[in-house]
Structure formats: C-alpha cells, structure tokens
Amino acid sequence: MAFAEEKKICFERISMDLRYGENPHEASFVYGAPAFDVLHEGKQLSFNNILDAEAAWIVASNLSRIGGGAVVVKHQNPCGAAYLVPGRTRVECVNLAIQADAESSYGGILATSFPINREIAESLKNYLEVIVAPDFEEEAVRVLSKKKVRLIQPRDYIPFNGKLAFGSLLISERKFEGIPELIFGQPYDINEILFSLIVAEGVKSNAIIIVRDGVTVGIGGGQPSRKRAAWIAVTLAGEKARGAIACSDAFFPFTDSLEVLIDAGVRCVVAPLGSIRDQEVLEYAQKAGISFYKSPIRVFRH
Amino acid sequence: MAFAEEKKICFERISMDLRYGENPHEASFVYGAPAFDVLHEGKQLSFNNILDAEAAWIVASNLSRIGGGAVVVKHQNPCGAAYLVPGRTRVECVNLAIQADAESSYGGILATSFPINREIAESLKNYLEVIVAPDFEEEAVRVLSKKKVRLIQPRDYIPFNGKLAFGSLLISERKFEGIPELIFGQPYDINEILFSLIVAEGVKSNAIIIVRDGVTVGIGGGQPSRKRAAWIAVTLAGEKARGAIACSDAFFPFTDSLEVLIDAGVRCVVAPLGSIRDQEVLEYAQKAGISFYKSPIRVFRH
C-alpha cells in the first residue's frame, strides 16, 4: 500500500491464525495479507516472528547497497551482522553474522540479502526461529524443512514504519539514503562506514554500533542515554574496539559518549551533526586524532 | 476502534502536521484522530512524541491499580517511575519518578495517573518534552504554558499494540491483568510487587526492573539477552539493589540472570514461569533464600 498517497486506507481482516499477540494473554488480529510467502513453517508463525522478520529483512535489504550481507535479529533489534567484504563467501558471511553474538543469536531471526543455497543451509547449526531471504534453493528448503524453523520469502513491497497510538495509526517513511562524508582524519573503507550506518538504522534507541573487518563487534541500544548505549557497545566489543569504527544513530549531544568510545580504542566515528555542541564534539574528536564521518541521515528507531 | 470485532478497518487521513516522521528525512502520515486533547503546544508535537506519550500513558494508567503514580518515558521506554506509597504526596511522587534517572529524564515524557495541579506544575524544574495526565488544573496549564512543553489530556479509548509489517497491520491486545503469587520466601508488599510488574510491562525487550521503596532504582532493557538486561539494571541500581525487588518481563530461561540479581543483593524476584528449566531456576532462588513471586502474565514489549 502506498500510504503516502491515500486519503483513506482500509484493511480487511485476514484469517491468519497467530495463536496470540505480543503475549499469550493478548489476542491478535491481522489486517491485510503480509507480502511474503512461507516456504516452510516448522512451527506456527507468531506475532513477534513477523515483526522480527521485517526488522531483519529491512537491514538485509539495505546491505545490498554494499554488495550484500546477513543479519540476526532478536526482539526487532539486530544482534549481529556481517557483509560480503572482498574474498568472503556467503557461507562465511552468514556464520560471521551468527557468531558475532553467538549467545544472542540462539533463537534469532536470520535475514540475508542473497538466496539461501544448500551449502548455507547445511552450515546453519544454531537454532533459528525464522530465516528470511529473497530466494531459497529447492535443496536448501529440503535441508531446512527438517528443522522447526520458518522460511520466509518476501514479495516486493515498500516498507513503512507504522504504529497505533491513542487509537490512530501513525505512519512514517522508512528510508536509507546518502553517503557519509569524511569531515577530518584518515579515510576508511566507505563500505565499512556504510555497514555501520545500515546496522545502526535497524537498532532501537540510542544505537551505538562498533564494526570491524565487516562484522559487528558491539551493538549498544535500547537505552534512554547515548552514553549508556556506548558503554554497552564497548563492553561487548572489548579488545575488538581497538582501531574499530563506531556509528551513532543520532548526533552526540555531549562529548561523553565519544569519550567512552575513544577510551575503548575506537578510531573512526560516524554520526550526523545537528547538536548545539557540534563544535565541541568535533574538536574533541579531532584532538583525539580519530576520523569523523558525517552521516547524511539520523536513523532513530524506537 | 474495537479492532477485535472489525472485519474491515478504515482510517481517514487527518491533516495533522507532524513536520516529519521517525526521522527528519522521513515523511509522516496520520490516519484517524488520536484520542487526546492538546491543552498546550509550546513546541509542535512530533511523530515520536505521540508514540512516547502513549507508552507513558499506559504505564501511568496501570499505576492506578496501586493507588496512582508517575512515570518518565524516553524512546517509548520508562526510565523512571514512582507510585503513591502511603504518606507520599503527588508532588513527591512526580519528582521521585523524574529523579529516579535524572540524567535520562531530561527531555523525557512525563505521565501521571492523577491530575496535574499548580503545585506539581511549579515543582517541575527539569526540561520535559510532553506531560500526559487525565486532567490539568487551569492554574497548572497557566504555569506550564510558559514552557516549551506539550500538555496532553487523553480521552477514553482502548489501547492496542499495532504495527505495520510487510504491508499488513498486526494488532495485539495490550492487557495488564492478575496478581503475582508468592511461591516461596517471605512476603513483600503486594503493591510494590505489582509496581515492578507494571513498569516491566512498559519496558522493551528483556526487561529487568529493580524497585525499592516505591521507586525504580534500575531499569534494564533493550537487550537481546536477559542476562545483559540484568547486568544493566544492577549496574544502574548499585548499592540500592541490596534488599530490593526485581521483576523480569518473561521467565528465566537459565539461572544466569538470577545469579546476577542475587549477587547484587536482590532479595525478591517477580517473573512468570514456563521455562523448561523452571525447576532449576526455582531451586537456585530458594537456596539463595530469596522470595519468588510468580507473575500471572508475560509482558513482552518489542
């Protein structure tokens, strides 16, 4: 549906049985058929599965901009992602995304920008709730059909953010656009910079993403303060933060989060500008000798 | 709208100008008039403001079950809350909710279950984006109208969780019901137990909430792992975790998160059961000598 143009939108209730809604004591209702085909349903699709699947699919689709990649989502948030850096195979890419946060990937939703073939299917050892991909080879479906996983193949559609609030339906476009621009410091691989921003676009609430060698090493999010998201990201990254790239979904309101990142060894930062303290933030980064890429977009997801 | 009963639902686009959607480069569209009155709009309402306002309002409404209270929301997640324990005034309650996480409350959305009077209005020193309340005294509106805040008074409506995914609209009921039941250990004030669960109901993704003396002291959420949410909650609570109550939005799949809570000094835990390791989890809690309340509901919010 092209919401932008419609004066009135109508949804027909469809008879999709999701057992329950967000929780077992809450009923669910589906209006309008979701734009996907279910190739295998080893276990009945749930309300949360569909929302997770879309969250993963949008990030995976955006990874096509840098040659393709894979992402694992938990609770509508990416917990690990990797892209096809030169020389990396698709099998390696998928498993790097899963291993990026192996603990969290268990029971996660995997989405890839490329088709799932037999080799990828056979390499998947972790329990996954859903796999979303633009295509599945017949042999891959056969291999995966032995598992409890659901296989989802999206059809063409335009994704929108839409939520009910106070009985009304609020809709926002969801767009990834533009290329980050180097403000100062040594240049980094632009695909690696874009990778950090594509993942940040999918992470909720004060996202701080640390990436290294085409894989996420620390994803901080879900926090009411940016400094806390930075603290989570560097704690998860540990030593891997040294020399890494960090992306912030929105501008740095203060230097505090930047300080957390730089102290952990981050050497390149990607973030939009727009804070009243931009000057102070940029000077802080420049004095620390790191590179600063200006993101063309703020990528809040709440 | 009573979604549950409708075979077909239609929304008329309304001419509510929100400037932009979730981000400045994303356009927004509002379908159906939100069920609230705006008493003051010191700054134009945004897409995110409305979603935050509802997130706060639902938690504040649920606090009526225990005599009323206040909550501050950031990015659709509570960051601080307090309720009217005996002897606590409404002014104290509001300011305890704000001070519970003073750093995060700046620019937050405040919702109360009770009307805002002049005394409360005059006590608000922090910058708040929105205040949501069932009523505002005329004098309170006059005081607050000098600020950039938006004042929102909800009308009667039934809240539902509803999100777009793959072009369809997925709707779930949103219901708080039941009373946690003591499984073992010494009993705690049931209102304090309910308070922890009401706040957990509003926090996204692996919520762990630590409460003490009718105020939240540590809110952990937005994580792909429950153990990580527990780590955030106890880190924020610090010494205040000693002797406190902790609530988990869903069952403990392993003993690891429980261990984090108990090591930090938590003495009472509220969580639903349903894990295949329930027995192991309960034995672990019992051996540690803490109290365990079984929550009647799982309260995922993603």
pLDDT at B19: 87
What is the per-residue pLDDT across A60-82, written as a single tens digit (0 to 9) for each?
Answer: 999 999 999 999 999 999 999 99
Percentage of chain A beyond pLDDT 70 is: 99
Across the interface, whether the CB atoms of A224 and B299 are under 8 A apart is answered no
**Exposed / middle / buried, residue B15 (Cβ in 10 Å: 0-12, 13-18, 19+):** exposed
Q: What is the pLDDT of residues B11-62, one digit of tens each?
A: 999 988 898 999 999 999 999 999 999 999 999 999 999 999 999 999 999 9
CB contact under 8 A, B167 and A32: yes
**Distance (Å) from the C-alpha of residue B187 to the closest C-alpha of chain A?**
26
Question: Mind listing the pLDDT tens digit for each residue in A209-245?
Answer: 999 999 999 999 999 999 999 999 999 999 999 999 9
Residues of B in contact with A237 (CB under 8 A): none
Tell me what percent of the residues of chain B surpass a pLDDT of 90: 96
ipTM: 0.97
CB-CB neighbours of A186 under 10 Å: 10
Average pLDDT of A157-165?
A: 97
**pLDDT score of A15 more than 90:** no
Q: Are A200 and A207 a contacting pair, CB within 8 Å? A: yes
Average confidence (pLDDT) over A268-281: 98
Residue B1 confidence (pLDDT): 57
Contacts of A30 in chain B (CB under 8 A): 168-171
Q: With CB atoms and an 8 Å threshold, state whether B166 touches A28.
A: no
Per-residue pLDDT of chain B (302 residues; tens, 9 = 90+): 566 678 899 999 998 889 899 999 999 999 999 999 999 999 999 999 999 999 999 999 999 999 999 999 999 999 999 999 999 999 999 999 999 999 999 999 999 999 999 999 999 998 999 999 999 999 999 999 999 999 999 999 999 999 999 999 999 999 999 999 999 999 999 999 999 999 999 999 999 999 999 999 999 999 999 999 999 999 999 999 999 999 999 999 999 999 999 999 999 999 999 999 999 999 999 999 999 999 999 999 99
**Residue B157 dihedral angles phi and psi, to the nearest 5°:** -165, 165
Torsion of CA B123, B125, B130, B136, to 10 degrees: 20
Domains along chain B?
2-154 (3.40.140.20), 177-294 (3.40.140.20)
Q: Answer whether A23 sits within 8 Å of B297, measured CB to CB.
A: yes
Q: Burial of B187 by CB count in 10 Å (0-12 exposed, 13-18 middle, 19+ buried)?
A: exposed
